Structure 1
Amino acid sequence: MTMPKVPKREQEESLTDLLESIALEETALAHFMNAEAEKVQAVAKMMEEEDIDMKEVLEFQDSVSKSMRTPIKKEILLQFKLEDVLEAKKELEK
């Protein structure tokens, strides 16, 4: 198996690419969180209509809580990545 070919880039271009990748990951996380929010709204409507019992609501809440752990962790890592990229960009401008 051969090594992938990585295009040569200047440091400024690489930092811009990293910023773009952060933005794309943030967009993906936003879509995921929006989908979870829509599920919560659907369950809230079911609760208003009394179409769901409390045990099911609690199970659902636990499921949403577990589902949101990974994106929250990812958000923290993206924040660190963003801070590092912005600091590197600032160093280049000196």
Structure 2
Amino acid sequence: MSMPEIPERTQEESLTDLLESIALEETALAHFVNAEAEKIQAVAKMMEEGTMDPTEVLEFQRSVSKIMRTPIKKEMLLQFKLEDVLETKREIEG
């Protein structure tokens, strides 16, 4: 297997690529959170209809809490990445 070819980039282009990657990751996280919100809405409807008992609701709530930890952690990492990129950009611009 050959090594991937990495194109020549200026520092400004590299920073732009990093900002784009942050934006794409933010979009992916938004889709993930939206999917969880849709599940919550479905469960809320089931609760109103009485087709889900309190024990099931509590188990679902625990599941959502556990699942949402991952995007929260990812969001914190993206914030650090964004701060680093912006700091570097300010340093380059003087």
SS at match of 1:40: helix
2:7 counterpart residue number? 7
Q: Does 1:16 align with 2:16?
A: yes
Offset at 1:17?
A: 0.3
Consecutive unaligned residues of structure 1, counting only runs of 5 or more, are: none
Q: How many pairs align?
A: 94
One-letter code aligned to 2:79 = Q
CA distance in 2: counterparts of 1:59 and 1:32, whole angstroms: 20
Please state how far the C-alpha of 1:18 moved relative to its aligned partner: 0.2
* Structure 1 consecutive aligned stretches of length 4 or more whose deviation exceeds 6 Å: none
Could you tell me the TM-score, scaled by structure 2's length?
0.97
Alpha-carbon distance in structure 2 between the residues aligned to 1:13 and 1:74: 24
Paired AA for residue 57 in structure 2: V
- Inter-partner Cα distance in structure 2 for 1:2 and 1:90: 37
SS in 2 for 1:4: coil
Report the identity percentage: 80
RMSD, aligned α-carbons:
0.6
Shift of 1:2: 2.0
**Residue equivalent to 2:93:** 93
